[in-house]
Amino acid sequence: MSFSQFNEEDFRLIEQDWKVLEASAAKRCANDEELEVVRRAFEFANSAHMNVRRRSGEPYMLHPIAVAQIVVDSIGLGYKSISAALLHDVVEDTDYTVEDLREEFGDKIASLVDGLTKIKNVLDTEQKTKGTDISHESLQAENFKRILLTMNDDVRVVLIKLADRLHNCRTIEHMPEHKRDKILSETMFIFIPLAHRLGLYSIKSELENIWLKYKEPEAYEEIKARIDHNIAEKGKEMEAFCKPIEEALNNVGFSFEIKKRVKTPYSAWHKMQVKQIPFEEVYDLYAIRIIFDPDTQSKETERDQCYRIFSIITGIYRYMPERLRDWVKRPKSNGYEALHCTLLSPSGVWVEVQIRTRRMDDIAEKGIAAHWAYKKNGYIGEGENEMDLWLSHIKEILVNPDVNALELLDIIHNDLTSADIYVFTPRGEQRTIQKGATALDFAYLIHTEIGNAAIAAKVNQRLVTLNHVLKTGDKVEIITAEDGRPQAEWLTFVTTHKAKTVVTDYFKNERRQTCDFGRKMLEGHMNALGIKLDESALQKLEGAFGAENREDLFFKIGIGEFSLNNLEGRLVNKGNKISWIRRVLGIKEEASTKPESTTIIIGRGTGFSIASCCNPIPGDPVIGFKAPDGTITVHKKSCSVAENIAAVHGDWVIVPKWQDQTEDHSFLVRISLRGLDRKGLVNEITSYLSIIMGINMRSLTLSADGGVFEGFIDLYVNSKEILEKMIKKLSSIDGIENVSRTAL
């Protein structure tokens, strides 16, 4: 921030944006008294931020106005939240206190601003560990715990923070690159999953697109251009597709509107990455939404009326049965309800059609705020219990005194990013559980005593073991025994927080068996790593884990309090080792400090390692991490591992720049190929790579079946430019249909 006297243009910009916000707030406020509170909040904040500018040079007041505008338009919160959004930086950036705001605006608005100030302090303050026994990782985890704890006080704090984060990301080009990378990684790690779970689709989508724009700028521009080209090319076809649907629904008396939607660049890019497909194979680029006002006089339920529209439109166009998604009958955990189907247009393009009522559309666009608004007005939707159950679950985790900060960070992040599946009890009652859950997790979901006594299960009438992984639609019956009790090995396969907690608590009373189990677990892990578990190693492990004695070490490993997951990844030198492993190996722990320089040249004479998780090459957008021991690891900016490291170790982030001359360095990449098999094809591929391009191949794996071949080649290249030239040439070889760079 900077200070300089405002001029007439500055005052004009503030007044212009305020008038737009005032008009939006007037529609949201219940009466003139509420609107007057918003006006006073604007005047208070405007005076407090007078002559203060952002990095961009614009008046600072434009930021809180923009945040409040998002709170109204994209979230739909009321006057207290709008006022808090306008005031959210006053306590942090001026001489005013929370008590000043409480006296002026009352307890609730003051407490919302207080929560927002605490979050900002957590995210903006560089935490130092020098002279303490607490690792930087623990401090950062504690910070995230404080952020999430605000959900337990008032979830509106997190909703306003999401609006604040969105506007900061909209103007992120004014940030230095290392700061930008930290903010974007933090956004992907915690705020985008939060927006998804809270049902804020528009905020989530915009944050994702901004993330892609700066993390993978070339991919973003290319995909955006191709989407724009498709819109221009297919616009008339989409109009023609919608016309028969409009006529049919008008004929039967539905009150409705049709909105067109095109897949976002991030969504297309993500699908291309996950499915390893080219842009041409992203078939669901187009979607239309049929949003209707249900007939309240009809005996049909909202669900029945959705099905009737489905019946009408599938009478016009052919649909793809395997692509039918019924989230009216089984809403998502964030409350989302809609009926999705995919129809074939006359021009041969598959178009996704989403059928929603007006209420469903409000919840889909504005998430939890719309959910509560309908709840307040007495409407109980199909998704009602799912949203409330999830919030209760999160609050239960947050207030659990037995969960430390690092563990909580993992639990919350996994919960935010995990998908849900829907399974049924023997009586046909639907239950939601996270993807990857086992039959035993389901048993504990039903009741603790059922889980404790479980010995087997029947899934779709077939007898299975308790570690059987469930899938959507399964009908699950738990088989119990009177003398059944938890087994120590259950901790190796249960996935839900509740199941892990109950089993762990049980074995706190079964100490000897648990100690034996923990010792065997540790021996197995260390043997797999080729490390001898002798007396010296055990003593170091006791100290590293903070165990009181040998028995305490084995016991806490046995109950899962000391996790051995990813032990190999922590032991090898990848530049992101954590403190207890350093102590195990006898490496002196240095205080975590900010690197001397945030920019470093990667190349000859630089001590760096290329991350094996994403294998970046010169030309890729990259992010670097300088660990406390001086080791530098380089990742692709879009790498999920890098996102997690940057979110936890924001002060390790550096900006790597590839050295101009990289001929003396070669980098391993993998390209995947697919096409029609023919005689001499492999020779043509290898000749081009080795003779013409002079490429060093490490391995080649190709297989053919029924005249179609596919496979991959691992090879070494000097730069992305050479790789792209090679891919373009290979794509032109007769018979090759697709060539793409894929993960190793």
Work out how many domains the chain is built from and give that number: 5
Whether residues 641 and 696 fall in one domain = no
Q: Which residue in the list 73, 92, 237, 589 is annotated as catalytic?
A: 92
- For the domain that residue 500 is a member of, what is the CATH number? 3.10.20.30
Could you say which of 200, 230, 251 is where a domain stops? 200
Are 59 and 177 found together in one domain? Answer: yes
- Predicted local distance difference test score (pLDDT) of residue 173: 92
- The per-residue pLDDT for 123 is 59
Q: Is residue 614 located within the same domain as residue 712?
A: no
Contact 363, 357 (CB under 8 A): no
Examine residue 720 and state whether it is found in any structural domain, yes or no: yes
Same domain, yes or no, for 61 and 196?
A: yes
Domain match, 174 and 293 both: no
Rounded to whole angstroms, the Cα distance separating 659 from 264 reads: 34
Burial degree of 510 (CB within 10 A; 0-12, 13-18, 19+): middle
- Answer yes or no: are the C-beta atoms of 309 and 254 closer than 8 Å: yes
Structure-block tokens of residue 490 = 């259950």
pTM tops 0.85, yes or no: no
Q: Is residue 235 domain-shared with residue 190, that is, in the same domain?
A: no
Q: pLDDT per residue over 134-169, tens digit each?
A: 344 444 555 556 666 655 567 788 889 999 999 999
Residues 29, 38 contacting (CB under 8 angstroms): yes
Q: Are 471 and 334 members of one domain?
A: no
Q: How confident is the model at residue 286, as a pLDDT? A: 81
DSSP annotation of 59 reads: B
Is 93 a residue of the active site? yes
Q: Summarize pLDDT for 252-265 with one digit per residue, the tens.
A: 999 999 998 888 99
Produce one character per residue of 518-546: b if its CB has 16 or more CB atoms within 10 Å, e if not.
bbebbeebbeeeeeeeeeeebeebeebbe
Q: Does residue 406 lie in a domain region?
A: no
- Choose the final residue of a domain: 507, 530, 554: 507
Is 9 among the domain residues?
yes
**What is each CA distance from 15 to 32, 42, 395, in whole angstroms?**
20, 11, 40
The pLDDT of residue 242? 94
Which of 105-119, 187-201, 452-466 comes out lowest in average pLDDT? 187-201
Read off the pLDDT of each residue in 190-197 and give the average, rounded to a whole number.
Answer: 81
Among 200, 230, 254, residue at a domain's last position: 200
Residues 34 and 176 in one domain: yes
Q: According to DSSP H, which parts of 447-510 are helical?
A: 448-453, 497-507
**Residue 412 confidence (pLDDT):** 58
With CA atoms as reference, report the closest residue to 743 among 615, 624, 552. Answer: 615
Distance CA 31, CA 720 (A): 60
From the list 717, 610, 714, the residue with the least C-alpha distance to 666 is: 717
**Looking at the domain assignment, is residue 555 inside a domain?**
no
Q: Is residue 112 part of a domain?
A: yes
DSSP 3-state assignment of 429? Answer: coil
**Quick one: which of 455, 447, 559, 555 has its CA closest to 501?**
559
Q: Per-residue pLDDT averaged across 509-513, rounded? A: 72
pLDDT at position 353 over 90: yes
Distance CA 305, CA 308 (A): 5
Q: Which is higher by pLDDT, 1 or 501? A: 501
Identify whether residues 696 and 637 lie together within a single domain: no
We report the CATH number of the domain holding residue 136 as 1.10.3210.10
pLDDT band at 415 (very low <50, low <70, confident <90, very high): low
Spatial CA neighbour of 68 closest among 190, 156, 174, 188: 156
Residues 333 and 465 in one domain: no
Domain shared by 80 and 224, yes or no? no
**Which residues 6+ apart lie within 8 Å of 606 measured at CB?**
600, 632, 659
Does the residue 19 lie in any domain?
yes
Give yes or no for a contact between 236 and 260, defined as CB atoms under 8 angstroms apart: no
Determine the average pLDDT of the residues in 260-286.
Answer: 85
Q: With 60 as the cut, is the pLDDT of residue 451 above it? A: yes
- Domain that residue 103 falls in: 2-200
Residue 675 belongs to some domain of the structure: yes
Q: Give me the catalytic one of 17, 58, 73, 93.
A: 93
In CATH, what number is assigned to the domain containing residue 279? Answer: 3.30.460.10
Least confident of 179-188, 393-402, 713-722: 393-402
**Residue 520 placed within a domain:** no
Mean pLDDT score of the chain: 80
Model confidence at 238: pLDDT above 90: no
d(CA 262, CA 288): 8
User: Given this model, what pLDDT does residue 630 score?
Assistant: 72
Task: Give the CA distances from residue 142 to residues 126, 404, 620, 718, in Å, rounded to whole numbers and listed in that order.
Answer: 13, 8, 33, 42
Higher local confidence (pLDDT), 272 or 540: 272
What is the enclosing helix (H) or strand (E) of 172? none
Domain of residue 724, CATH code: 3.30.70.260
Confirm whether 92 is a catalytic residue. yes
* Same-domain status, 242 and 281: yes
In this prediction, residues 397-406 reach a mean pLDDT of 54
DSSP SS3 for 438: strand
pLDDT higher than 60, residue 637: yes
